[in-house]
Structure 1
Amino acid sequence: MVLSSYDFVIAGGGTAGLVLASRLSEDSSQSVLVIEAGSDQSNNGQVKIPAFYGALLGGEADWKFTTKSQSNLMQRTVPLNQGKALGGSSILNAQVFAPLTQSIIDSWASLGNDGWDWASVRAFHDMSYTSPHIPEASRGTLGVGSLPTRDNSIPGPIRTSFPMEPHPIRRAWAETFEELGYLMPTDPSTHGSVGAFSNLATVDPISRERSQAANCYLEPIKNRNNLHILTNATVERILFEGKSTKAIGLQYHHEAMTPSVMARKEVIISAGAVQSPKILELSGIGNREILAKFGLDTVKDLPGVGEGLQDHLVVDLSFEAEEMLETQDSIMRQEPEAIQQAITEYSSDRTGILTSSGILTYAYMPAVNLLSGDGHQRLRTLLEENRPKKDNAKEQARALALYSIAEKALLDPHAPSGVYITSLGQNPLESDPVTGERTYKPLPGKHLILAGILSHPTSRGSVHIQSSNTLDAPVIDPKYLDNPVDMEVFAEHMLYLQSLASLSPLSKLLTQPPTPSRAISHLANLEEAKKYIRLRAVSMWHPAGTCSMLPEEIGGVVDNRLKVHGVENLRIVDSSVIPVLPPGNLQSSVYAIAERAAWLIKSEYGLK
């Protein structure tokens, strides 16, 4: 039963929201309510079994967002899958737990966010998870020979592991990059680190089930008397005291009713980079002109709301693999015998192909061909020619501040501008290059994907409401590749990535000579790489930055305590506050932000 008031009311029971719920309810004197639009999917086998994450996309647990048509991607609309369930996107992502990098976190602080440098953030990142024990004999195959052993004496809620160890892709990946001089020398979180490594996965090392916010943060404490979780309830707007800017509660929709709940201390918005700006705008917080367009009264004129959207694009190159390589192709083709064998292995001793999403290796890489000579000069010229120029002084200040960070990373040979991953099997999310519709037709044989991610996009988009109707999805316009720098850097990465397929020992896992699974994915030169990117690039589902943690004078929405500028008793805690994307997958960043936010809140109110 939902009470009329709580100390803390949290909009969104996703990755960040459940971290907050767990930590804030540790003090039994405080009452906490979480309002989640989705349901509890924790017992869903497609959530539990790591390899089945793709089956969740487009279903009940997915918001099924799509972007506005993108002019630089052949006018395609791009699916932006986001979790709609307890645990949010942690229940449907590909389970990659990518390390943060010191240089990016330090850049958050450099933008005017005191207390958000690496020295301050790392402890909260580390307290969110438990790393697996790495036997000495496995260090070589994992490409983590110098990785220091973490202190797990106080285990974090999220359990991580190296699924499918040993698998030949791990050693081949590590040894190939070692020959190139790009094997990760130590902890990937070290300042300026580039190179290859085996990535952790949010898969429990014992049960081999997905480790996510609902089963790790919420399940152990869900019976606390001071914690209430309301599912299948959609937050509509923030309530304010009279005509003031003091937030006092939330209005939400549940079972054909539209009740309200009051917050004695704070309202916390943890609805994600797409939904959080929508809730703010529907509540009268945002650009005055946008609000007026839809007949909404302005509570706080905050033009940064919904602006600054960043996302990672990914492009895959698929190659025919040797028959001996264990991949997920037969599962993707729905072959009954293969499915039965995989289920038997998983059920009997938690082994086999179902224990992983198929992503086992990672590399943080600079654009090698742009580091020196003519390539380096070409990059410098592009960066100068495409430096942001805005008419609005506040927009220009924000754009230039963010651009300078990306520029520094792109020019630094010790900072990643791209991420490379492998995936065991053909792409089950393949889409038609014209319509964007997912029209996957499985190929025979075995395949290995080498995928490239643009880790430091200079382009920025937006998320804004399209009406005052709470049921309408917002307009999502990432403006992918809007800055020509992004296309140039991305194309160079894709050409370099393709060249890896011919290098031993990675090439030994592929048919010889290396043969693209589909003829269209052979890239002969830079222009063909650009054409292929326009045809094939899709979202990694890493939206961020739409309620950026920045000073208000340069277009920020929250301050360094994650409080909304000029509004009392209102914080935002989710990926929307991230001012600059980390190089890899977002979930480790969101856990770190939520852990630090909980500490900030508890410190402010003197809670246990």
Structure 2
Amino acid sequence: MQALTILFLSGVLAFPGSTARPSNEGTTYDYIIVGGGTTGLVVANRLSEDLTKTVLVIENGGLDNGTMSSIPGNSGGLNTAAMYDIYSASVPNLGNRTFLVTVGNVVGGGSYVNGMQFDRGANADYDAWAELGNEGWGWEGLQPYFAKSNHFDPPSAETTKEFGITYDETAYGHGPLKVSIPDYQFPDMKYIFHSWDNVSIPHPKEGFVDPVGVYFTPNTINKATAMRSTSRSAYYDPIVSRKNLKLLINTHVDEIIFESNKNGTLTATGVKFTKNGSSNQTQAFARKEVVLAAGGVFTPHLLMNSGVGPKDVLMAAGVIVKKNLPAVGSNFQDHVANYMNFDLRDLSPESIPGLSSNTTFNQTSYEEFLAYKTGPYSAGKANALVFMALKHFDSTFDKTVSKIRSQNAAEFLPKRYAQDKQLLAGFIKQRKIIAKQFSGTAAAVGEIVIQPWGFSGIANNKPLSRGTITLNNTHPREYPIVQWNTFQNPIDADVMIALTRYNRKHWASGSLARYQPIELSPGPQYQSNAEIIYGSIESGSLQPSFAHPSGGCSMMPEELGGYVSDELLVYGIGQLSIVDASIIPLIPAAHLQATMYAIAEKAADIIKRRA
């Protein structure tokens, strides 16, 4: 990987020709981007293409050049050294347990620590964003930006034939992010993937064209190097020498600086930040815009610590209220996961469990990767997915739809919705869209990840429950309070139960009989609806998050409880925009990575138009 030249800011820095504000320490840039993760580095790259514009990126994490994340074969484990050590509030419907909040704390953010899946939601998922009042954010408006971000490399002809892989290269683009279906596949993948051949769900040739069904998907792997492709490797490393772009690492942004005019209108003019481990706070200023890209959890947190958010939350934490915006921290969403597991007999010795149990196989595989960039370590742990409409896995889907439409929405939402007509109106409009998606086949509701062994993660991709992000009242600058409120709406549990039963049935089918599967988690002893949820909680397989936290600063009209306009500007505040997963108004049925690259590419164009 190309060596990096990083500028560590510790005092007053200046670009040639820039003018620092005389009344404050610090340097002035055209743009300050808070967060050097997936979206932040994309936007930084595009804004700094104009060499007359200066860009500062501030990232809390550091540069990780290790192999825990960069080697694809390691992607099945959590690289906790490159993640925040943050846990959620106890979740009432999950046994009052707390859960790890999986958020990257590294240059590259989530793109550096995720499972490398590169898939998109259905057209209907993005058309829902437009239906919620966001002009230009439907599929037609986003499609060019999906194409702009990536470049696809297919598997070899031999692998394609042996494993029955289909793809369509024209579905992708010619962008900097390298994605591929690896040449290496574990031998059992051909049997486990093709166990779906006779199942009555769609079998599209290419998931990036038709995302509902079963198909192989790319991983974010650069085929030329057999290494993980990230926002850093794709968007930052190649342009590190740009004189108008500076990256500050291991630095925490403490607060957004605002100026107020005589009418009380706020304008974001800069940020206050502190080098990790230091007590010396520094300031930097933005001529044009402060761009928030701190992610689905930490962007709402930063806003509230800057005095922007729900008045009651800020006052309870002793934060001076500068702008009362009740939407901040609401509409928080994630996919709900159940990591089912099956013991399989007669797996090939060349398998994922074999890497753990057979020292010789593991060592020779690793040596093969180091020498030739081939073999088991050149591939991710999963590159095939099943996305299903509700009617594909639940024969009583029509009853579920009726139940959604008849519910008293406020009864199954956080209390603040009953107190805020705009928040409630926004959710009711979302619910109408979700009910429509539940009744048809245009968008997926359930997901099953196909792996070449017995680990079989499933997810409810369309939860009706809504979480919150709030401040720690005693220490507001410490990690925020993340509350998923999983299963607050019981329909979410119904969907998970139906999907769990469906996955059990598939593993018990004749197409997988060669493996004689035995369910390990949650366990076959849990049969009733209540038992399935209880057993999944007790076994630890049920998780409130699929590592896709989003929605806490939603892009919707103000009258629908939105916080950000379709131009990505925060309502009522000048020169402040948001470009990360917190703007997603309704979570799509997809791993979010490809969507976030598209959002970032589109965001860069929107911001450029304001220049």
Q: What TM-score do the two structures reach when normalised by structure 2?
A: 0.89
Q: Of 577, 582, 585, which residue of structure 1 is paired with 2:591?
A: 585
- C-alpha deviation, 1:580, in angstroms: 1.0
The aligned runs of 1:556-595 (5 Å cut-off) are 556-595=562-601
Once residues 572 and 555 of structure 2 are traced to their aligned partners in structure 1, the CA distance between those partners, rounded to angstroms, is 14
2:440 paired with 1:407: no
Amino acid in the other structure paired with 2:79: L
Between 497-506 and 523-532, the greater mean CA deviation after superposition:
523-532
2:100 paired with 1:79: yes
- C-alpha deviation, 1:398, in angstroms: 1.5
Contact 1:461 1:477 in 2 (8 A): yes
Task: Give 3-state SS (helix, strand or coil) of 1:97's partner.
Answer: coil
**Cross-structure match for 1:494:** 500
**Cross-structure match for 1:206:** 224
**Cross-structure match for 1:428:** none
Once residues 528 and 456 of structure 1 are traced to their aligned partners in structure 2, the CA distance between those partners, rounded to angstroms, is 22
2:306 paired with 1:308: no
2:441 paired with 1:420: no
Q: Measured at CA, do residues 377 and 594 of structure 1 come closer, stay the same or move farther in structure 2, by a change above 3 Å? A: closer
Amino acid in the other structure paired with 2:350: E
Once residues 475 and 403 of structure 1 are traced to their aligned partners in structure 2, the CA distance between those partners, rounded to angstroms, is 25
- Identical pairs, percent: 28
Contact 1:240 1:247 in 2 (8 A): yes
Q: Of 350, 362, 369, which residue of structure 2 is paired with 1:326?
A: 350
The aligned runs of 1:191-230 (5 Å cut-off) are 193-230=211-248
Amino acid in the other structure paired with 1:37: N
Once residues 168 and 52 of structure 1 are traced to their aligned partners in structure 2, the CA distance between those partners, rounded to angstroms, is 18
Amino acid in the other structure paired with 2:283: S
**Cross-structure match for 2:18:** none
**Cross-structure match for 1:149:** 169
Q: Of 341, 365, 388, which residue of structure 1 is paired with 2:388?
A: 365
**Cross-structure match for 1:100:** 121
**Cross-structure match for 2:63:** 40
Q: Measured at CA, do residues 469 and 76 of structure 1 come closer, stay the same or move farther in structure 2, by a change above 3 Å? A: closer
Once residues 298 and 318 of structure 2 are traced to their aligned partners in structure 1, the CA distance between those partners, rounded to angstroms, is 20
The aligned runs of 1:399-548 (5 Å cut-off) are 399-424=427-452, 447-467=453-473, 469=475, 471-508=477-514, 510=515, 512=516, 514-517=517-520, 520=523, 523-535=526-538, 536-538=541-543, 539-548=545-554
Structure 1 residue runs of 4 or more that deviate by more than 6 Å after TM superposition: none
Q: Measured at CA, do residues 35 and 256 of structure 1 come closer, stay the same or move farther in structure 2, by a change above 3 Å? A: same
Q: Measured at CA, do residues 405 and 186 of structure 1 come closer, stay the same or move farther in structure 2, by a change above 3 Å? A: farther
- C-alpha deviation, 1:367, in angstroms: 3.2
- C-alpha deviation, 1:190, in angstroms: 4.4
Once residues 533 and 457 of structure 1 are traced to their aligned partners in structure 2, the CA distance between those partners, rounded to angstroms, is 17
Amino acid in the other structure paired with 2:139: W
Q: Measured at CA, do residues 168 and 385 of structure 1 come closer, stay the same or move farther in structure 2, by a change above 3 Å? A: farther
Between 377-386 and 21-30, the greater mean CA deviation after superposition:
377-386
Structure 1: gaps (5+ residues): 425-446
Structure 2: gaps (5+ residues): 1-8, 15-26, 411-416
Once residues 323 and 396 of structure 1 are traced to their aligned partners in structure 2, the CA distance between those partners, rounded to angstroms, is 51
Amino acid in the other structure paired with 1:314: A
Q: Of 589, 593, 604, which residue of structure 2 is paired with 1:598?
A: 604
Once residues 310 and 141 of structure 1 are traced to their aligned partners in structure 2, the CA distance between those partners, rounded to angstroms, is 39
> How many residue pairs end up in the alignment?
572
Once residues 258 and 209 of structure 1 are traced to their aligned partners in structure 2, the CA distance between those partners, rounded to angstroms, is 37
**Cross-structure match for 2:23:** none
- C-alpha deviation, 1:355, in angstroms: 2.0
- C-alpha deviation, 1:316, in angstroms: 2.1
Q: Of 174, 179, 188, which residue of structure 2 is paired with 1:160?
A: 179
Contact 2:382 2:451 in 1 (8 A): yes
The aligned runs of 1:244-263 (5 Å cut-off) are 244-254=265-275, 255-263=278-286
Once residues 327 and 273 of structure 1 are traced to their aligned partners in structure 2, the CA distance between those partners, rounded to angstroms, is 35
Once residues 94 and 171 of structure 2 are traced to their aligned partners in structure 1, the CA distance between those partners, rounded to angstroms, is 45
2:250 paired with 1:232: yes
- C-alpha deviation, 1:319, in angstroms: 1.9
